[in-house]
Each structure stands twice: as C-alpha cells, then as structure tokens.
Amino acid sequence: MITVALAKGALLKESVSRFVSSGLDFSDVLDPDNRQLMVPSRCGKARALLVRNADVPVYVAYGQAQLGIVGYDVLREHQMPVAHLVDLGFGGCRMAVAVKEESGYKRASDLPPHCRVASKFTNCAREFFDALDLPVELVHLTGSVELGPITGIAEGIVDLVATGRTLRDNGLISIEDLFQSTARLVGNPLALRLDRGDLKDVVELMRT
C-alpha cells in the first residue's frame, strides 16, 4: 500500500486535488469533521498521513511515507534526504529579507554587520548571509517574525512572503529575495528504487 504524507494547512486542498488526478483520492481528509490523522484513500490502494508541513520530509525520509507534498522552503531549511520529483507549481511564495519601511535599507547588504535578523528559517538565512559575507546574529522565532523589527529585537527578518500584505500592514517592506518556493512532490529514495511501478505511475501522472 502506498502511504502519502500530506501537509495540513494552505497546501492541503490542492495537494489532494493533484493526487485525485493521479488516481489516489484522499478527499476525505478535507471533511471538516475528520479527526483521523491516517486516512485511507477512497480506492483503497493508499493512505494519507496528515502532518505538519515541516514533518512531511521527515516521514518521507524515514520511509513511513513513500511520497509527500511539501513547500520548497521546508526542503531548503531542513535538508532531509528525500528525492525531489516534481515541481507542482502551486503554493507560490518567496523567501525574502524584510525591514521597517523607514529604515532606509535598499538591499540585504545594507544591513549593518552583526545586527540581529529574526527568522523561522535560520538555516536558509545563515546560508544567504554567509554567501554575502555579512555576519549577522540570527534570532530564531516560531511565531510572527514581523514583530522582530517592530519591537526592536531584530533589524530585519527572513520569512516567506506571498502577497506582501502582512508586511505592509506592519510597516515592513521586502528588500531582497533569497529564492522562490512552490509545492514539490518528494519521494523516499529506497522506496523508489524498489518500486515495481506503482509509485512511478503516480509520479508520472503528477507530472502532467
């Protein structure tokens, strides 16, 4: 039986739709009354694990799920050993550096050395600022990182930006993008090597 890891939240509805088009119908996970975390497909050939976004590549890497859908931002941040199979193109956003609008900074390199930068994505941020050869102190926050510059705990932030409305509503502007992120289909490398065709068929249908 194929096991698929699905992320709760913004990617779930479109993820389910893509799997339906590939022959695996997990529509029951969208039922607001559903409280199950492991849900069988309507065809009976597969099951879905409902997990947090950041946990999708963990379940796939350890083999508890053969396939999963997760944002590229999570893959970049956590660097789990999973196979990157298909860029599904939905859930588009960007990882960006943002600062207070009145700060005067125009690009990330304008930030003063050794300033504090708040982020949920500290690995991505570290990689970015190391490439700029700009030493910064990273402050790891798990909630609304926009509060960092507002409260003064940080000079800027690194965070996902979709429409930019949250930034604008809090007096912030993005000054530089690290990368673009979309939903990706990932797979367990060993399961893919041992596959007798079932996984390959799903992956090929997801490519169309």
Q: What domains, with CATH codes, occur in the chain?
A: 2-91+182-207 (3.40.190.10), 93-181 (3.40.190.10)
Q: How distant, in Å, are the alpha carbons of 109, 131, 151, 192 from that of 84?
A: 31, 24, 38, 11
pLDDT attached to residue 40: 85
pLDDT attached to residue 39: 84
Rounded CA gap, 22 and 26, in Å?
Answer: 11
pTM of the model: 0.91
- 159 has a pLDDT exceeding 90: yes
- 151 has a pLDDT exceeding 90: yes
pLDDT tier, 64 (very low <50, low <70, confident <90, very high otherwise) = very high
- 28 has a pLDDT exceeding 90: no
pLDDT digits over 81-134, tens only? 999 999 999 999 999 999 999 999 999 999 999 999 999 999 999 999 999 999
pLDDT attached to residue 45: 85
Q: Mean of the per-residue pLDDT values for the chain?
A: 94
Tokens, residue 2: 């194929």
pLDDT tier, 33 (very low <50, low <70, confident <90, very high otherwise) = confident
pLDDT tier, 43 (very low <50, low <70, confident <90, very high otherwise) = confident
Which contacts (CB < 8 Å, 24+ apart) does range 146-150 have? 146/98, 146/170, 146/172, 148/116, 148/117, 148/118, 149/98, 149/99, 149/100, 149/103, 149/118, 150/100
Averaged pLDDT, 179-204: 95
